[in-house]
Amino acid sequence: MVWTVFQVSLRRLMHNRIELMLTFVVPIAFFSIFALIFGNGIGGSTTPKIKVVAIDEVQTEISASVMATLQQSAGLRFMRMSDDSGDVPLDRQRAQAMVQEGSLTMAIVLHNGDRHAVAALDSDSAKNISADLLSDSSDQVASQVATALVARAIMMARAEAEAAEFDVFKSPVEVSQTVPASHIPDPPSSIIADQSGAIIADQSGVIIADPPGAIKQATHESSSPLSNPSSNPSSTQWESEISAGPYSSPADDPQSLKSPRAEDPVRVVDVIGEGKANPVVSMYAAGIAVMFLLFGASGGGGAFLEERENETLDRLLSTQLTMDHLLLGKWFYMTSLGTVQVFAMFMWAQFVFGVDLWGHLDGFIAMTIVTSAAASAFGLLLATLCKSRGQLNGLSVILILTMSALGGSMVPRYVMSERLRGFGQWTFNAWALDGYDKVFWRDLPIGSLAPQMIVLMICGIGFLSLARLLAVRWESN
């Protein structure tokens, strides 16, 4: 008998395509989605490109070198700015506004160490380049990647500038290759050199180079006229400076490394999240709310199918009630229920987690109504597409979880690759989350929600129209 029960269960599984998909296809599909997200995203060899602009407030050769290095970086995607009024120079304030409205992930501003001081033209101030990263802290990966790339570019530019300065200490052979011999000036008599010709000190006793054995030769060789303290007082001063400390040159002294150029040249400035009360919690609440709106809508569609199976639908249609009335009535009910459900979730988030709901009430109401309407229409479409409650349960789980994974309800979209983000734009989860992001994170006015609201309303009308077409078969029966 045990074997008989096993055979019956196996045959039932083989004849139920929805159950087969839930058993074998859905786990593989979700594994593939998350492998693509974390394999090609933050866990892979490459990270998603960061949308940035760069502003050069220094305008020197070093800053130009930094800009060129950043433009060649594979991790940054420089955006072209267009304006209907013509070419408007991009400044710090405009770049910050673009980050706040979501057009950019980050703005890189190159400046001197002291932004309030007038930019000096000497070489030291020209090399003292720092960068402010005007960042959207909702993307927690972008700031870390951009900080490393910008710091590397600045360090490389500084190193090239330092190397160019030390070119003046080339050997005579190197100089003679680039400058005619007639133009090479004689070395001043105040220079101390060893037998190899390497310069080791000037008249003031400051050590320029420390070749092996040079100090010993310059201080203890009696045949040199500079070794006599009476004839050359600076040599005594030089010997006292050598014995004053263990460091043969100022560059070896750790105290000398505390110059402004040795400090961290990159500073991350959060232009959105600073001063907000748990804005990230509101984004998680929005993602969960949209996903459960879809599950609630599929449950409402399931009730529609139950009425069809127990012949309640036939008795309703035998009255003056039409299919249009029935679909619109259920759509209004499911939309109202979904709106109340999301409102209750955000009320809980405000009282428990400190989400600022009342400060964004107008945008929240607008986004919640259109999102609930689109989700309810989607639930009715699934109900009219399926023949039984079991088919609806299987199909709704597959579609809702897939859309939630690609649309950002499960995983933040900033860790996804550009290709996956493009796929996510085909789900209304992504459009709904973009709208809630503008409301709670970016504090944008309700007029900026027009693209998201239009797309969601088009989705709702389209889903409801398709549901009406598919429900014709119930009227004919």
What structural domains does the chain harbor? 50-160+265-270 (3.40.1710), 279-476 (no CATH)
User: Residue 354: what are its φ and ψ, rounded to 5°?
Assistant: 75, 25
Identity of the amino acid at 457: M
Q: Where are the beta strands (DSSP E) in 49-127?
A: 50-56, 76-78, 106-112
Q: Which two tokens stand for residue 424?
A: 């996510």
Q: How far apart are CA 212 and CA 249, in angstroms?
A: 14
Residue 84, pLDDT above cutoff 80: no
The predicted-structure confidence for 95-149, as pLDDT tens digits, reads as follows: 888 888 888 888 999 988 654 444 444 455 556 788 999 988 777 778 888 888 8
Contacts with 128 (C-beta within 8 Å, 6 or more apart), sequence order: 112, 113, 260, 261
pLDDT band at 424; cut points 50, 70, 90? confident
Q: Are 121 and 127 in contact (CB under 8 A)?
A: no
pLDDT at residue 364 in the model: 94
> First-to-last CA distance in the chain?
41
Question: What is the edge-to-edge ordering of all strands in the sheet holding 76-78?
Answer: 76-78, 50-56, 106-112, 129-135, 266-270
pLDDT value for 370: 95
Higher pLDDT, 186 or 219: 186
Highest average pLDDT, of 171-175, 216-220, 313-317, 457-461, comes from 457-461
Average pLDDT, the chain: 75
Q: d(Cα 13, Cα 25) in Å, to the nearest integer?
A: 14
